[in-house]
Amino acid sequence: MKASTFAVLIGVYMALLGPVLLLAPATLIETLDAAVQDSFQMAIVLIVFAMISTLVVAHKPVGKTLAERIVRWIAWLTLIKVVVLFWVPASLEWSIDFYHKIPLPALRIEGLVVSALGVWLIYWGTQVMRQSSVTPSD
């Protein structure tokens, strides 16, 4: 998978998740608590993220731009996180417990950061896709 496609997919995910984290962080944490209880649902989500990230990491980098390096770095981090969550199932519960300890204003700031990063990923990915439709280099 091209880094630009990954950027758009993850960017949409982050752009949708960020405002919820900004406006209703307690509700989001309650939803995550419920999702963690359903191990089949979590396994499906983790498998999807692992597949997408693996496809990006396996794809040869085309450009040497900082933006593409950042996107590939995000893919690596996502893959590492998914592998850790599979190998150490208690880490998922630990991360949810950690989220309960974070003050709501800090979660709202995280929502702003996640939203901004999501919008940037969508913008960068669509720009690269437009350029590659003109010149097939990506």
Residue-level pLDDT, tens digit, the chain, 138 residues: 888 899 999 999 999 999 999 999 989 888 888 888 888 888 898 999 999 999 999 988 877 889 999 999 999 999 999 999 888 878 888 888 888 899 999 999 999 999 999 999 999 999 988 887 776 554
Q: Report how far apart, in Å, the C-alpha atoms of 99 and of each of 25, 62, 121 are.
A: 10, 37, 24
Cα separation, 90 vs 68, in Å, equals 33
Closest CA to 42 of 3, 95, 4, 1: 95
Residue 13: C-alpha distances to residues 8, 64, 122 (Å): 9, 25, 10
Helix (H, G, I), strand (E, B) or coil at 24: coil
Q: Residue 138 is encoded by which pair of tokens?
A: 């990506």
Q: Which amino acid is at 110?
A: E
Calculate the dihedral angle through the C-alpha atoms of 107, 113, 115, 120, rounding to the nearest 10 degrees.
-170
Q: Could you give the percent of the chain with pLDDT greater than 70? A: 97
Q: By the 8 A CB rule, do 28 and 110 touch?
A: no
